[in-house]
Homo-oligomer: A and B are copies of this chain.
Amino acid sequence: MTIPRSHPRYRSLKTREALVEAHRDGRLSLEGLIAHGRGEAFNYLLGEETAAPALVAEKAAAAYLLTAKRPVLSVNGNTAVLAAKEIAALAKAIPARVEVNLFHRTEKRVALLVRHLRQSGVVAPLGLRPDARIPGLESARSKCSRSGIFTADVVLVPLEDGDRAAALVKMGKKVLAIDLNPLSRTSRTSTVAVTDEVVRALVNIERFVRQLRGRDRELARVLKAYDRSRNLVAVHRFLVWRLGQLRE
């Protein structure tokens, strides 16, 4: 079925098509499709644009990535399919390593996603040869790379599940989450919680990375000013307000 450009939900339908295609060729799990549907609902409630408090969190995430010794962008199936180019651009801007890390890990899917990321401009994505484990997770989900997530001090985890975000925090890492549900365990556990759609969030974080680079005083100020709990309260208030507006 060809979707006409005039359709009011054109972009949303094209995104769905890309995900369905990614499942068909083995890059995306079925659970990833259901997770995308949850994200769609929250994105719709947010009015499909970046809320002001999300922008504050995105700036904080940029500051953490710029001041990190070993920043890593963790990429799962949905992130790779939806935002490979944005991941490549952000990784280059920081610069940071990129590691494929899957909830429903199969070696074949990791290989397909690594290839997909490489084709989208990511330099030397990690994930194919995990040689370390995140403590506290089951075997398949704990696999990671020593030169990537395992020794990172700051990890960006878009669309991550709560268990893994918590396990990374327990390892002493700064965890930057991108999650459209401000009430999720991931959002409530991470160091920085960005409540925004993954493409918008990555584009904004990259812009802040470019703006903040080398400005040490401003970086320190941004890191000091960000308060996850207060920020999530603001996001939540925005969501309640938006939902109230949607009736009009």
> Interface on A for B, CB 8 Å cutoff?
16, 19-20, 23-24, 30-31, 33-42, 181, 183, 233, 236, 239-240, 243-244, 246-247
Contacts and interface: CB of A to CB of B under 8 A. Distances in A.
A30 B33 contact: yes
B239 A243 contact: yes
A243 B34 CA distance: 22
B37 A30 contact: no
A69 to B, nearest CB: 35
Main secondary structure of the interface of A (DSSP, over half): helix
A10 to B, nearest CB: 15
Number of copies of this chain that the complex holds: 2
A85 B34 CA distance: 23
Contacts of A23: 30
10 A-B pairs with the lowest CB-CB distances in the bound complex, closest first: A37-B37, A41-B41, A34-B37, A33-B33, A37-B38, A38-B41, A20-B30, A240-B244, A33-B34, A240-B243
A183 B243 CA distance: 10
Given A239-B243, A240-B243, A247-B236, A40 B34 contact: yes
Nearest to A30: B20
A221 B244 CA distance: 31
A244 to B, nearest CB: 5
Contacts of A246: 183, 236
Nearest to A39: B37
Contacts of A30: 19-20, 23-24, 30, 33
Nearest to A104: B1
B34 A41 contact: no
Given A37-B41, A243-B243, 9 more contacts: A16-B31, A16-B34, A19-B30, A20-B30, A33-B34, A34-B34, A37-B37, A37-B40, A38-B41
Nearest to A29: B20
Contact of A183 (B37, B39, B247): B247
Contacts of A239: 243
A195 to B, nearest CB: 13
